[in-house]
Structure formats: C-alpha cells, structure tokens
Amino acid sequence: MRIDVLLDVKTTLGEGPLWDAEQERLYFIDSFDGRVFRTTVDGREIRAWDVPAKIGSMALRKDGNGAVVSLQTGFHALDFATGDCDLIHDPEPDRPNNRINDGKVDRHGRFFSGSMDTMEEGPFGALYRLDPDFSVTTIDTGIICSNGPCFAPDDRTFYFNDTWGGEIWSYDYDIETGAATNRRAFAKVDMSGGGAADGSTVDAEGYLWNALVYDGKLVRYTPDGSVDRVIEMPVKKVTSVMFGGPNLDILFVTSMAKPPLPRFPDDGVLRGSLFAIHDLGIKGLPEPRFGA
C-alpha cells in the first residue's frame, strides 16, 4: 500500500471525491470556499468552478455538461460550460442555519443528500431524495450532520450516518421506488480517539469504507458491520473516500485545512491535501449519474 499526495491545494473543507468513469476525471469540492475541482488521475490537469454558496456534494448529470450540486441554499444545477448555477429547489428555506451536505446517486439516477446544523449541535437536519424530475422527497429527519450516503452493490441496502451519532446506519432499499426504510445500526463507530464518521463509499466486494474525521483513519467494514481494516492517514481531518482511476483501484481521500468550529483540532503541513492510496488490491464501483 502506498499513500501519495495527489494535490496539495489546501482545501478549507475538502469533500466529496467523485470519479467520472466516462471521462476519467476526478471531481472534488471545497465546501466552505464554494468551489468544485476537477483533475486527472495524475493530478497534472486541474480545473475549478465557483458556486454561489457553501457546497456539500455534487452529482454528475446524464444529460449534458454539468452537475447537480447541494448548496447551503438548496439543490442547484451547475453548467460546466458557462459556470451558471441555477436553483432547482430549496427544501429548507425556513432553516437559515442549515446547509445541504453529503450526497450520492443511486443506480436509477436519484440523488440522496442530507442537511446539517452548521453548529453541529441540534437535530435540525433531514435526508432528502432529489428525483430526475426535480421532485424532492424527505427520507429521514432529526439529523445533526448528514454524512456518508452510499449503496450496496445489490441495491438492497442504503447506508447513511449522522456524524455525531456514534454509528453508521443501514436501511432496506427499494431501487424501484427509491424508498429507504427500516433504519437500524449497521456499525458502531470507535470515537475514543476523538473522531467521528464522515464520508463513505462501498467497494466492489460490498465492504463499506468510512473516513474517521478528526482521528485520521479510514475504516473498512464488512457487510455484517464488523471492522475489516484500518488505515492510518498522514492527517487527522480526513473527510471522504472514493475509488477511481482507470481500473477503479485507487482510493482517493479528501481532507480539510481548517476545522469548521474552534473545538475541533488543527493539523499538520499536509492538511487540506487530496490523497491517492495505491496497491490496496481492492476495486470500487463506477458512480451513477443523476437523471433518468
């Protein structure tokens, strides 16, 4: 196993690595600076787009040159050609202290993204599903900090976590209807080192990978929720993970350069870097695009 720094761009809050298997490009975001980045697998080519508010996640669209992005002010459509970022729907206009956070697309093109309390204290957030027709459905409520949505390879299980809840949840998932039901504990999160569950992905073997933010670890869980492997990272504030590369065998890891609140720890010189982990002997799955 080898951990490389792919890009040292000092993202204030790097998040949401997303590999585009069609174009062989990696996207990631800076949540606090409101920016979407795109780079090649070797980090030699980089492009960026500004969005008009803090951004939590993104999904590439099937029908053209753009993405759906979850911003503090709701779901928007970002046009890569023009840079325009137009409002689709704001599910929480009455909650100015919330912002939409982490998100992923299922294999029928629906975008699941949840909101969070920006002070990370109260259960004021919710989990939403944005369908290809731009309708929005509330899936769950009472969440402090939405994170880690992802889907099992057989499309029968949806994973999600409230960062400060101490566990990762699983739901029964109906790929035909987009319904996620029967929430239950999938795995207990070891928070003894001050860390908490952040972004997740599921590999081709059906194992879930989670970034343990503030503890500098990546944890791989078996399909029954037990810990299979732990990787120590060079920085504490790792935020999310995604497999990519031409063979889907590189694990990309985002991190933050500055903690969002004073109570969270600082970090070393590599803070805010985008990392690439090679030679794991494990492959991921291509991420679906948003749309019918």
Q: What domains, with CATH codes, occur in the chain?
A: 2-278 (2.120.10.30)
| Distance between CA atoms of residues 238 and 12, nearest Å | 12
264 has a pLDDT exceeding 80 = no
**Closest to 145 in 3D by CA, of 198, 109, 96, 220:** 198
Report the pLDDT value the prediction gives residue 289, as an integer from 0 to 100.
97
Q: Comparing 141 with 259, which gets the higher pLDDT?
A: 141
pLDDT band, very low/low/confident/very high, at 149 (cuts 50, 70, 90): very high
Alpha carbon of 235 to those of 45, 106, 217, 231, 267: distances in Å?
Answer: 24, 30, 9, 12, 6
Query: Confidence band (pLDDT; 50, 70, 90) for 120?
Result: confident
pLDDT band at 263 (very low <50, low <70, confident <90, very high): confident
pLDDT at site 221 = 98
Give the pLDDT confidence score for residue 261 in this predicted structure.
Answer: 76
Range in 64-68, 140-144, 159-163 the model is least confident about: 64-68
* Overall average pLDDT of the 126-133 stretch: 98
Token representation of residue 23: 């174009």
* Residue 64 pLDDT exceeds 80: no
Encoded tokens for 113:
């993204």
Q: What's the rounded Cα separation, in Å, for the pair 292 and 285? A: 19
Mean pLDDT, range 1-9, rounded to an integer? 97
145 touches 119 (CB < 8 A): no
Q: Which of 30, 140, 162, 198 is catalytic?
A: 198
Is the separation of the CB atoms in 212 and 198 below 8 Å?
A: yes
Q: Give the pLDDT confidence score for residue 65 in this predicted structure.
A: 80
The reported pLDDT for the residue numbered 265 is 74
For the full predicted model, state whether its pTM sits above 0.75: yes
pLDDT at 242: 98
Mean pLDDT of 231-237: 97
H or E element that contains 109: none
Provide the pLDDT confidence category of residue 98 given band limits of 50, 70 and 90.
Answer: very high
72 backbone dihedrals φ, ψ, rounded to 5°:
-60, -30
pLDDT at 236 exceeding the cut of 80: yes
Gap between the terminal Cα atoms of the chain: 38
* Band of pLDDT at residue 259, cut at 50, 70 and 90: confident
Edge-to-edge strand order for the sheet containing 179-188? Answer: 146-151, 157-162, 167-174, 179-188
| Segment 33-57 mean pLDDT | 97
Rounded to whole angstroms, the Cα distance separating 194 from 213 reads: 9
Could you tell me the pLDDT band of residue 231, with boundaries at 50, 70 and 90?
A: very high
Helix (H, G, I), strand (E, B) or coil at 165: helix
Residue type, 2: R
Lowest mean pLDDT among 38-42, 119-123, 165-169, 245-249: 119-123
Question: What is the chain's mean pLDDT, rounded?
Answer: 96
228 assigned to active site: no
Q: Strand pairing of 136-143 and 125-130?
A: antiparallel
pLDDT value of position 21: 96
Percentage of the chain lying above the pLDDT 90 cut: 92
